[in-house]
Structure 1
Amino acid sequence: MYKVIIVDDEAVVRVGLKNTIDWAEHGFELIGDYANGREAWEAVELYKPELVISDISMPFMDGLELAGLIAAQYPYIKMIILTGFDEFEYAQQAIRLKVSDFILKPITAQEIRRLLEKVRSEMDEEARRREDLGRLNSQLKMSLPLLKERFLERLAAVGLGRAEIAEGFAYFDLPPVSPLYLVMVVDIDDFGEREFRSYEHDAEFLRFAAYDIFKETLAKDHILLFRTREERMVAIVSGQENESLLYEQVYSHAEEVRYHIEKYLKFTVTIGIGRACAQLERLPDAYKSALSVLDYRLLLGKNRVLSILDIEGKPSISLAENPDWDRKLASAVKTGSVQEAHQLIENGIAELKSSHAPIDGCFLLVQKIVLSLINSMQELAVDERETSIAFQMSLTDVYRFKTLDEIETWLKEAVNAIVSAIADNRSRLTRMQIHRAVEYIETNYANDKMSLQDLCRHALMSTSYFSLVFKQHTGVTFIEYLTGIRIAKAKELLHHTALKFYEIAEQVGYKDPNYFSILFKKHTGMTPKDYREKQIKESGA
């Protein structure tokens, strides 16, 4: 409901407007009617109505003077002038005073209703616009912390010009800073015991808790704090002209942050401290050096404060000291020597840790190992899909690990999976070869010249290995299996045909009928003649 007042020195007009209009139906609440401009002005100051309907000609203060006061002090109040004077001068003054409507009397109730609907529509639209602006202002205030973080991130990661820096510091009300400038970057190693049982919202809560400790610990002058899109925490420390003292100050801050997060949140962070710079415009150099130091977590492990001064001061060892690492590991994997492969991985990782080599070089060497393992699987025709770890191995996977210890564990798990897959693959291949050998026997049992050598050539296996695995898969030797097939076929022929004994012997692979009879009796306990007679008797019964 919009509040409205009526101002007219004619009582009949005021009473008529009050009684003939259903104000609530049109969205208005009539809060008063007044006989002159002075009384109306007092009501305006007291009640702040949204609409004033006023005559022009009134004692003490006329309608145009009232309109002038309202326009000057309450420009949002709308005013409608009702007058019996049809003069252009009045209309001009009303326009200058931003009066909403200038209506000539007499006016009908229907015209007043249309006028109220029109004014209410305008007021509704203005209210919507004000609400939208209010919402935008509210959203802007809510977004200011994030916008400030993005400004500081651009300042550190990309770099800004002097004018843009000054504008941003003023807009976000950032404290003044002065050289030298040093950047430290805090990265969460993992969430400790919570790492494998945290939901995403739990992880977000833990990151927030870590940042809260970060802010509380570093709530000092000349320190600018923000979070990056990669969920790292960054502090820009300034105001110390002595570089050595600045490094000591930042290292102390960093160690305090690391200690408090480990103590109160039960997980660890690694902190990198970069090079100092003398100008805010050169801050990206300091930021990038801090990130590069953070990478040395790969060699030195988690839960540390790492400084560029410490890293640059250590000599590096050539990565070429063990050039055959990948070849030896591939050989151990191919032969199924898991223990040897694990020892090679442990030795290689230990060498990398002590090398202080460039991080990119370490990743390249590990990628060389990964490539060697993948090639081993391909050479042995192992399907990568047979093992989830082997399938996940790729040259880019190494970058998802933060330490060499994690890479060592991953490589060992990969080796275990690959060796297992190779063994399964060999077992499957052997089963296929034995299956081919059995099919060959069952198809060619009548060949009295069949030999072990013939069978091995067909199955593509050596005689010694074939003899070993054939008995493992069938439970009998090649000769025993062949004899069993021949005797079984002979039984069928004796039972279902009238062939002579020597003919049956020849059909099942025996040229000598006597030898056939001896073998048959040995396996069945009776001669071929007795076996046939028994079958005939049982059939007749």
Structure 2
Amino acid sequence: MGKLKVLIVDDEHLIRNLIRMRIDWESQGLIIVGEASNAHEAMDMVDELRPDIIFTDIYMPYINGIEFSGKVLEKYPDIKIVVVTGHDEFEYAQQSIKIGISDFILKPIHASDLLHVTAKLTQKIYEERTRNQELERLKKDLERNFPYLREKFLYQWLEGALSKEEIHEKAEYFKLPVFFSGGTYQIAVIEISPISEKQTEEQLILLGMECRNKIETFYKDDSRVMIIPDTRNQMVIISFSQTTHLVSDCESIQATLLKSYKCLVNIGIGRRRDKMQEAHLGYQEACRAIHYKAFVGHNQVVCFEDIVDNREEYYRSNPELLQQLQFCISVGSSERATEILEQIFNVSFSGVSQFRMAAMDVITECQRAAMEQQIEDEQAQNAETLVSILTADNLPELMNILERYVLYVCQTIHSKFQTKEGNLISQVKEYLENHMSDPQVGLASTAAAFFISPGHLGRLMKKETGQTFVEYLTHVRMKRAENLLKTTDLKGYEVGEQVGIPDPHYFSVLFKKTTGRSMNEYRNGK
């Protein structure tokens, strides 16, 4: 990126010359490409030279600096404009903020002010250009990632995250005519897992890729069938075909995969649907059918309608309650999780198999919460719970097993949170001690450094220290300032710079407000 171009506009030759001679522009990565004595002349130069930064006086003949700035920014919004103003004009100059003026410089003009403004604007221009280049790159990435985005839409559709209007809009964008055919569709989910636990992550990824290729090859001539992976490393088949028998297809696919690879293949199939906004129900049914492997064993093709006795009232999942349950477990809220568990089972079951299905839903949510929080020893406990469920023959016994399991996962996650939060705040405190001299350090930048949200960090700081983030940072800075005043001969403004408060006046006011004494009084022991 070449040198940035600067235009100086002022009706006084001495002021223009002063601005030009005050600093070494080229060493700042800048070059003065022109000077103008009035706005008319300057406007022509702007059109011709397209400067990156303009320094302009307020009072000039014909058109004042603020009107001139407005015309420039309306035509070239990327240009940065600095208004040169006196103290008596400053209130008037502040009005120009509304039209997008980048900064102000007060007369008399000091080299330090010029350097500060040019450095800030140069960085901002480079950041904007980098961002624009990044946007162009992202546009190209969008074209390359079109197939992935199409899969993402299909998954959102399966999750029930889209309205009817959004489904039709996105289906049209991704050129999926089957969504408008008016027929029915059916969803199957294929879970592929290794026989041996000794397989490496790379081997598992290759197994998934190879199996997907087999499935796609099976349907290569049928444009009414789509295959996508979901977030659980399962393959989802969405069939809009009215002539294909999905159960037979899945049995053939399963036989092919078992013959080709050393793996376990469990397939669940949901019921046919005719409304596009009900895809999440068919997907949930297929996933629940897969969970039935706990009762029928591995390498089975299970249809949801086969595990439901249509002659009796059967258990229906309550997605809202299950989502609430997972959330409460994820945040370690034992009491609330137990209450929701009772609500889930507050229905009339037609038999043991029905409340076992409800139990599988609960265990699935526990597993998800444990996986999200990376609870390593949960799997052994989960296996024991599954065995207990298979042997339980009454609801009170099952409820007791589930409640113990839910409480176990909640308490494990809660303990991990407490340890993690304590460690995090210790790290944040150390970070602030090491970076307090940076004026840019704040809640947002610190949160970004630890990959958490500013709101979450603020709440943790208040909980752990009894102070807000700003209060704690100010306390740390003032303690360092007190130490520097006691142990060094640094001047007041130098102490302020050392603790990340470069504005001498603000630092002086803040120090006195915090300690009750001025810096001189503090240093002299008064």
Question: So what's the TM-score if we normalise by structure 1?
Answer: 0.42
Question: So what's the TM-score if we normalise by structure 2?
Answer: 0.43
